[in-house]
Structure 1
Amino acid sequence: MIKGIFETHINVSNYRESASFYEKLLNIIPLYEDEKRKSTFYWVGKPGESMLGIRENYPSSLIQRQHFAFRVDLEDIASARDYLSSLGIETTNFWGESAEELVVFPFMPAVSIYFNDPDGHSIEFLAMLKDPPRPKEDMMTWDEWDRLNGRKK
Structure 2
Amino acid sequence: MIKGLFETHINVSNYEASAAFYERLPGLIPLHEDAARKSKFYWIGRAGEAMLGIRENYPSPLVQRQHFAFRVDLADLESARQMLNEQGIAATNFFGESDAPLSVFPFMPAVSIYFEDPDGHSIELLAMLPDQPRPELPILSWPEWEKVCGRASYTNER
Q: TM-score, normalization: structure 2?
A: 0.95
- Cα distance, 1:34 vs structure 2: 0.1
Indicate conservation of the 8 Å contact 1:81/1:99, yes or no: no
Alpha-carbon distance in 1 for matches of 2:139, 2:96:
13
Q: Spell out the pairing of 1:5-24 with structure 2 (5 A cutoff).
A: 5-24=5-24
Partner residue of 2:86?
A: 86
Q: TM-score, normalization: structure 1?
A: 0.98
Question: Percent identity at matched positions?
Answer: 67
Q: Say which SS state the counterpart of residue 88 (structure 2) adopts.
A: coil
Q: Deviations over 1:113-136 (max 9, x none)?
A: 000000000000000000111111
Alpha-carbon distance in 2 for matches of 1:100, 1:81:
12
Query: Counterpart amino acid of 1:66?
Result: Q
Q: Say which SS state the counterpart of residue 17 (structure 2) adopts.
A: helix
Partner residue of 2:123?
A: 123
Partner residue of 2:106?
A: 106
Mark the runs of 5 or more structure 1 residues left unpaired by the alignment.
Answer: none
Q: Say which SS state the counterpart of residue 75 (structure 1) adopts.
A: helix
* Structure 1 segments (4+ residues) deviating >3 Å: none
Mark the runs of 5 or more structure 2 residues left unpaired by the alignment.
Answer: 154-158
Instruction: Quote the RMSD (CA, aligned, Å).
Output: 1.0
Query: Counterpart amino acid of 2:95?
Result: W
Query: Counterpart amino acid of 1:48?
Result: G
User: Between Structure 1 and Structure 2, how many residues are aligned?
Assistant: 153
Partner residue of 1:52?
A: 52
